[in-house]
Amino acid sequence: MPELPEVESVGRALAAELTGRRLTGLRVRWGGVFEPSARAARDALLGRRLDGLHRHGKYLIARFAGPGGDDAHLMIHLRMTGQFLSQPDCVPDRHVHVTFDFEGRAVHFRDVRKFGRLTLVEHPTAPAALAHVGPDMLTVRTADWLERARRRAAPFKSVLLDQGVAAGLGNIYADEVLHRARISPLRPGGSLEHGELAALRRAIRPVLRAGLRRGGTSLGDLAYLLPDGRAGEHLAHLAVYGRDGEVCRRCGSEIVRTTIRARSSHWCPGCQA
DNA sequence: AACGATCCCTGTTGGC
DNA sequence: TGCCAACAGGGATCGT
């Protein structure tokens, strides 16, 4: 599922391909992906040039330049199975909901589960649309968010997944971060000591960067793919996620899978306390 | 404020 | 073998 490293990988690929190109057509097969509506998206975006694409947490925000500086923004969330595909020979199947025709290039938005959303945001409210989202996990410089996290009573795994505290981690990388920091996913935030908080802070960036370096983690039949159709190559390098029943490479114990707050958690009882 | 429950979807899987 | 219920998952929303 696309988390921060996957969203960043997709964003970089799309930016490289599309920045500076004008959107000349919008082919909509299922309008439900658009908020507030496909018509609004068409009215706001057609004829405009994509002049910026950035990521915050798991959101991509595409900026389309307007004639008089009145930019339009498209906030993209892939949720579980959203993909952008841009191979020239890509044949759209029934899960391709929208095709963006840019000058000289077409990009398809495909989403089997149909949870993904493309939200049109008018210029002045673009930052407000992200008000409920915490600081980005990869670029946040202060540890303020960690102080907030420490005040929570819920299992720390759930706190790491709470995008309002800090944004970007999903189920896979949250498990990986906890393993690297040697902290059990069941520990309440308030029980973490300073040394453990420091370990957590130190674990987040390397875990995310390792995933990013390999183009993300592609897992299963509905896996995330890069726009050129390639799979991410990080799967084989995961320490715990999906490795239940296998041996921890750090301590040799058997990795277990437990359910925490209705989410599967993979962790090592041998070295995560 | 912060928690749990529910809903959105559909391909895959497991039980009978 | 076939059918169907359960499941997975992020996050919005609602009720407590």
Q: Would the Cβ of A158 be found within 7 angstroms of any atom in strand B?
A: yes
To 5 degrees, how large is the angle CA A35–CA A20–CA A5? 60
Establish whether the CB of A31 is closer than 7 Å to any nucleic acid atom in strand B: no
Q: How confident is the model at residue A126 (pLDDT cuts 50, 70, 90)?
A: low
Question: Do A56 and A130 contact (CB within 8 A), yes or no?
Answer: yes
What local confidence, expressed as pLDDT, does residue A144 receive?
A: 84
Dihedrals phi, psi of A55, to nearest 5 degrees: -115, 140
Which tens digits make up the pLDDT trace of A191-217? 899 899 999 999 999 999 999 999 999
**Model confidence pLDDT, tens digit, residues A229-263:** 999 999 999 999 989 889 999 999 999 988 888 88
| Distance from residue A164's CA to nucleotide C13's C1', rounded to whole Å | 15
Nearest-5° Cα angle at A255, A251 to A256: 145
- Copy the structure tokens of residue A94: 């029934």
- This prediction has a pTM of 0.95
pLDDT in tens, A127-186: 777 888 888 999 888 888 888 888 888 899 999 999 989 999 999 999 999 999 999 999
Per-residue model confidence (pLDDT) at position A227: 94
**What's the mean per-residue pLDDT of chain A?**
90
Report pLDDT digits (tens) over A50-65. 999 999 999 999 999 9
Least confident window among A114-123, A227-236, A249-258, A263-272: A114-123
**Residue A125 scores a pLDDT above 70:** no
Q: Are A101 and A80 in contact (CB under 8 A)?
A: no
Instruction: Return residues with beta carbons within 7 A of strand C.
Output: A 1, 3, 57-58, 77, 79-80, 113, 115, 132, 161, 163, 170-172, 259, 263-264
Length A218 CA → C3 C1' (Å): 31
Q: Is the dihedral of CA A260, A264, A270, A271 positive or negative?
A: negative
The larger pLDDT score, comparing residue A68 to residue A22, is at: A22
Q: For strand B, which nucleotides have at least one atom less than 7 Å from a protein CB?
A: 2-6, 8-13
Catalytic residue among A55, A58, A157, A180: A58
Catalytic pick from A2, A155, A185, A227? A2
